[in-house]
Amino acid sequence: MNYILISPYYPKNFQNFAHRLKDAGVYVFGIGEEPYEQLGSTLQTSLSEYYRVKSLENLDEVKRAVAFLFYKHGPIDRIESHNEYWLELDAQLREQFHVYGNKPADLKKVKLKSEMKKLFRKAGVPVVEGSVVENEQELTEAVAQLGLPVIAKPDNGVGSAATFKLSSEEDVRQFEAEWAEKTAYFLEPYIEGGKLCTFDGLTDQEGNIVFQTSFTYNVPTLELVQGQLDLFYVIQKEIEPKLEAYGKAIVKTFGMKERFFHIEFFQLETGDYVALEYNNRLAGGYTIDMYNYAYSTDLFAQYATLVTGGKFQEPKVPNQFCIGVTQRDAYQYQNDTKAIRDRFGDKVKFAERMPEAFAHLQGNQFYAINAETEEEVNQITRFVHERKK
């Protein structure tokens, strides 16, 4: 099997895809912007060949790279980055070279928030009603219909990027000036008191869910960014039954195969859920590593097994909570990495600096820490986030 990894070097923890695919007997080829010597010996060893391009943004240049690898090594079986930013590039390359997986026509339902809503409804899952706006008149009409406050986010966008909370007419005017009708936006009512949570997992080549999990945030991402608040999120030991039912219905309706998925929900104060977004990829940052620590598994290897036609291997030990908790360089904390390791010992699975791309959102110093009980989760988060007086 020949497998092309787009951007195999970044993010660093995703280099494990190359290592595990090679271990599974796959010929792994990399296309990226970094000089070959920057990859390091371990990644170099896992790649059968590396083709450097000046820019992954240059579609023609990347197509030439794929064509070269195709000519030299034979038909390509997979092209994948596992990265939200390159989803459209991956799809365009698959279509050009007739490779298995999502093509550009398949991405509409996982890129446009307005299209996601239609499929959530089809799956029988509650949603927050909203409107697509492309000009000032449509914006005015949507605000009048929905009422303030509203959330405004690009209809075709990534995560919380370029997202606004509009609470007043002044906010609307400021947004209007910054937006300048450059792209379509999706407006929906702001949900007060909602808890942000997820239904995440992996499907096999038939679209069956072979791995599923859920995590909850201590604060919604928009508030986290705007307030530069302390973050923690927790991989749960169990998935609440209604959330699981909604998540499974959505995965079935979207019909994606051999894919990781990351579906965001708000849990309402009533206990019910509303679906927010379907992401056709892994959750970002170090979340896949947290899954591995929570479930005592190796999802990089599990994915490689699925790609090569094997079966997902169920973990043989009970799962645990795994907490992702961060500290921001802008604040002074009572406990540093040494104190955290001294306090929680081998429950601290790793302590890493966050990549700059995620730091503004999540924080600068990241810890993944396992816990057995919710009480222990609370003790850990309080200890890490305690600030100096």
Range of the domain at 206: 195-385
Cα–Cα dist 219/207, whole Å: 32
Residue 322 lies in a domain: yes
pLDDT of residue 285: 87
pLDDT in tens, 44-80: 999 999 999 999 999 999 999 999 999 999 999 999 9
Q: Are 201 and 296 in contact (CB under 8 A)?
A: no
Same domain, 164 and 91: no
Tokens of 37: 């010597």
Residue 142 lies in a domain: yes
Same domain, 142 and 282: no
* pLDDT of residue 162 exceeding 90: no
Q: What is the mean pLDDT of residues 363-372?
A: 96
* pLDDT of residue 250 exceeding 80: yes
Task: Kindly state the helix (H) or strand (E) to which residue 196 belongs, with its residue range.
Answer: strand 195-203
Same domain, 87 and 66: yes
pLDDT of residue 222: 74
Which phi-psi region, left, alpha or beta, contains residue 379 (left: φ > 0; alpha: ψ -120 to 50)?
alpha
Residue 41 lies in a domain: yes
* pLDDT of residue 225 exceeding 80: no
Same domain, 145 and 170: yes
Same domain, 171 and 299: no
Residue 145 lies in a domain: yes
Last residue of a domain, one of 167, 189, 211: 189
Same domain, 178 and 199: no
Same domain, 327 and 181: no
Residue 269 lies in a domain: yes
Average predicted confidence (pLDDT) for the chain:
94
Residue 339 lies in a domain: yes
Same domain, 70 and 219: no
The domain that holds 373 is classified in CATH as 3.30.470.20
pLDDT in tens, 77-132: 999 999 999 999 999 999 999 999 999 999 989 989 899 999 999 999 999 889 99
Same domain, 150 and 31: no
The domain that holds 82 is classified in CATH as 3.40.50.20
Same domain, 232 and 346: yes
Cα–Cα dist 297/367, whole Å: 19
Same domain, 69 and 165: no
Q: How many domains does the chain have?
A: 3
* pLDDT of residue 138 exceeding 90: yes
pLDDT in tens, 319-360: 999 999 999 999 999 999 999 999 999 999 999 998 887 888
